[in-house]
Amino acid sequence: MALKRKSASNTAPAAKKPKFDFFAPRPAQSAAAPSDSSFSFNTKGDKCTRLTTWNVNGIMSVDEKILRKYMEAEDPSVLILTETKYSKGKPDLMCFKRLFKHQFWGVDPKQGCVIWDRYTFEIQATGAQNRVPGWEETSGRYVELEFEDLSIVGTYVPNSGENCKTMDLKKRWNEALRTHLRTLLETKPVIWAGDFNCIMSKKDIDSTAEAFWNKMSGLTEEERIGMCDILYPPNSEEPVLVDVWRHLHPEDEEHTHFSSKFGGWRLDSFMLSKDLLEKVDSCVIRHELRDKKLSDHWPVTLDVAVGLLGSR
């Protein structure tokens, strides 16, 4: 018996659905941002340098028009970005090109840390480091600029993972970072900035997040102990690095990150050597960006009187 021939079809086979890439930048938000995208911030103090740290949650997903207006209003001399999720060279963002002369990326940019700097060669930075010595497991989370009188460190601290499954990895990171920061502090003051992925106090979370206290990554006692080991020398109640926002706002309850499920968290800040605290003019969280659909984090800005950074 003859077999019936299948009829030919001109229809092309359906294309396979592309595999989801977690580290690929998110597409720009389709939701309309508020029509008023202007910003007005505090004036920088005399002889102060402005530094800003911000978890952008995908640098290429940010609305560049709003970003440009924000950056022009903020006008930082040094910008530390975390969770960049960018792995193909340097992003082609004109607002950054116009404001900053130089950029220093971690070894693996998709892991997320970069320092943008206006005046590196004018202020003669003495060196740059893009990895934590002794840390090889997850590159790209660390960038360091060394100057004659201080060091600036930017980090995107590893998350301990769902059900804290990567807690051992985070412990190894903490140990390597603690050792290196101690070495830096032996010779000069340090400004350490970024997303620390650790909550030290219930004052740093809202009522929604309190339900997860000691139950999820970033909120565990083990992580708080690890952070304390970095901030405090052994057998000492005096820290060598101080959370400057909390130092200036001892009772305030503000946040730098929000999700509808897990609530508000203060994850991003600046840690300063104690001898720099008297030079601080202000440290503020830019809540003005919360409804701008740029990121699920908001920038934190520090004004500090360290003239060697070429503040203008």
Known catalytic membership, residue 195: yes
How much is the pLDDT for 11?
47
**Residue 178 domain-assigned (yes or no):** yes
How many other CB atoms sit within 10 Å of the CB of residue 296?
15
* Binding region: 55, 83, 195, 197, 296-297
Q: For 27-79, what is each residue's pLDDT tens digit?
A: 433 333 444 568 889 888 778 999 999 999 988 888 888 888 999 899 998 99
Using DSSP's 3-state secondary structure scheme, residue 233 falls into coil
Tokens of 77: 């001399």
Using DSSP's 3-state secondary structure scheme, residue 72 falls into helix
- Domain coverage including residue 175: 49-309
**Residue 22 domain-assigned (yes or no):** no
pLDDT: which is higher, 99 or 251: 251
Q: For 184-195, what is each residue's pLDDT tens digit?
A: 999 999 999 999
First to last CA, the chain: 90
**Residue 9 domain-assigned (yes or no):** no
How much is the pLDDT for 220?
97
pLDDT of 140 over the 80 cut: no
What angle in degrees, to the nearest 10, is found between the helix axes of 221-231 and 167-185? 10
Q: For 241-253, what is each residue's pLDDT tens digit?
A: 999 999 999 999 9
CATH code of the domain in which 239 resides: 3.60.10.10
Does an H or E element contain 6, and which?
Answer: none
**Residue 225 domain-assigned (yes or no):** yes
Range ranked top by mean pLDDT from 87-96, 121-130, 263-272: 263-272
**Residue 249 domain-assigned (yes or no):** yes
* Binding region for Mg(2+): 55, 83, 195, 197, 296-297
How many distinct structural domains can be found in the chain?
A: 1
**Residue 111 domain-assigned (yes or no):** yes
How much is the pLDDT for 283?
97
Q: How confident is the model at residue 104 (pLDDT cuts 50, 70, 90)?
A: confident
Contacting residues for 2 by C-beta, under 8 A, at least 6 apart: none
Tokens of 216: 């999820």
pTM: 0.83
Catalytic residue among 86, 156, 255, 257: 156
How much is the pLDDT for 128?
75
Q: Could you tell me the CA-to-CA distances from 94 to 65, 68, 114, 239, 244 in Å, in that order?
A: 10, 8, 16, 40, 31
How much is the pLDDT for 111?
59
Catalytic residue among 117, 195, 268, 281: 195
Catalytic residue among 180, 255, 257, 297: 297
**Residue 62 domain-assigned (yes or no):** yes
**Residue 8 domain-assigned (yes or no):** no
Q: For 200-246, what is each residue's pLDDT tens digit?
A: 999 999 999 999 999 999 999 999 999 999 999 988 889 999 999 99
Known catalytic membership, residue 257: no
